[in-house]
Each structure stands twice: as structure tokens, then as C-alpha cells.
Amino acid sequence: MTDHVDIRAAAPLLPLCLKDVVFEVGPRRIIDGISMRLDAGPRTVIIGPNGAGKSVLLRLCHGLLGPTAGSITWNASEVAGGPRRQAMVFQRPVLLRRSALGNVTYALKLAGVPFGQREERAMEALRKVGLGGLGRHSARVLSGGEQQRLALARVWALHPEVLFLDEPTASLDPGATHEIENVIAALHGAGTKIVLVTHNLGQAHRLGDEILFLHQGRLAERAPADRFLKHPTSSEAAKFLEGELPW
């Protein structure tokens, strides 16, 4: 555990501040002026109808996309070339053509972990997500749920301060979904800020402390999860929850 004490000795990444962020692709405006602040602590869940811009917002925050206008500012900047302090898990896990263990040690290599320590830390991460026995298996022959757990093991080994998840269980059956949600909860318990996009309202309820509701590229409402799901204040949110808006 000493390693991430070093990381955290530096100033924390959060809070993340977005100011008047706009994102356009050609003529299409996908994010239409969002200002918000993400603080450490609560698990943030982003929901909204299809095309609302949830995935794009996530990628803007994580740095995979750059805003067309506006600013996205972290409290501290990551050291260029240093280990990533934020991570992302995608709907379909992207794994290398190697063993499960190899995928995790690869991430550790990128994080600058010395060669001798990689395998042990990778095994520990695999055990944490319940894949301890599958280390030598080829990552590509694992089931969908196992692959997503492997992606999370990869995250676990890195101990990031922020984890973005883009509909991580959308392709999984309920059993696998349950396992993934457990891992996410464990990560949160270990100190990682969770920012999750989902279209599964039950999941939003189980995993969310606060809900960000996106509608047509704007932040339509933001509230603690319980209150939002029972008593949304915006009309778009109300319609969405009632199922009138398309998924």
C-alpha cells in the first residue's frame, strides 16, 4: 500500500471543475454548455436518454476528448509520463492478446511499477475481483463478465483516484452485473472516486450517492440519488423516469 501513499503525497486530483464546456462534432453540438464540479467522496452516477451526451461527457472529463469551448480543470495536474491517477472502464472491455495476468502486469508496467513487483501486485488484484484462479488463462477466452472483472482488476492494481465507467454492465447478465457492482463498491471503499454512466436505474439506485441527469447536452438536474429517483424536480427528468423519453 506504500505506493499509492507516494501518489497521494502529491496534491489530490479532485475536485474537477467544468466551466461552460461545449463539444461539437461538425455541425452537431453534443455537449451544450455544462458547468459542474466533481468532488471527492460521493459516487456520482450520470444518467439520461440516448444521445444526451453521457459518454462524451465522461470522455471529456477523462481527457480522451478535448472540449470545443470552455474549460476542464483538475485540482492538480497529472505528471506527464507518470502513472495515470485516473482510469476508465468501457462498456466492452479492451484486453490484450495475453493472459489475464499479462493484461494487469502490462498496466502496472505503464504505471512505472518495477518489474519484480508486477506479478505479485497483479495476482493480488486478480484475487480481489475473484479471478485468482484464472491468471494464466488467455484474456480473450474469458466470459464477458470475467473480462469486465479483469478490466476492473487492472484498475484495482493501479489504485487511481478517479474511476470513470461507461455503462460497464450493459452487455452482462444479472449475475455478472452483480459481481461487477460489488467490485465497484469495493473500489469506492478503498478510496477511489466513482463516476458511472448507466442506463440501468436500479444500478443507479444501488451504486449512486448523487445523480447527474443529462438531457440534450445540458446538465438538467443534479441531486442526491434517493431524492432524485423519488422526486425529480425537472420536467425532463420526471418524464425520463416515467419512461416516456426514449432510452
Alpha-carbon torsion (113, 154, 189, 192), positive or negative:
positive
246 counts as binding another protein under rule CB under 8 A = no
Min dist. Cβ of residue 225 to another protein (A): 26
Nearer to another protein, 147 or 177 (CB): 147
Q: Where are the beta strands (DSSP E) in the chain?
A: 16-25, 28-38, 44-47, 69-73, 86-89, 162-166, 193-197, 210-215, 218-224
The interface with another protein within residues 86-115 (CB under 8 A) comprises 87-88, 90, 94, 96-99, 106-107, 110-111
Tell me which stretch binds another protein (CB under 8 A): 132-140, 172-180, 190-198, 223-231.
132-140
CB of 140 to another protein, least distance (A): 4
Positions in 172-211 near another protein (CB under 8 A): none
Binding mask 49-68 for another protein (x = CB under 8 A): ----------x--x-x----
| Amino acid letter, 237 | A
Q: Does the protein bind another protein through residue 139 (CB under 8 A)?
A: yes
Q: Residue ranges of the alpha helices (H) in 190-246?
A: 201-207, 225-230, 235-241
> Rounded to an integer, what is the distance from CA 96 to the centroid of its chain?
20
Beta-bridge mates of residue 213: 47, 221
Pairing of strands 28-38, 16-25: antiparallel
Residues of this chain that bind another protein (CB under 8 A):
59, 62, 64, 81, 83-84, 87-88, 90, 94, 96-99, 106-107, 110-111, 138-141, 154
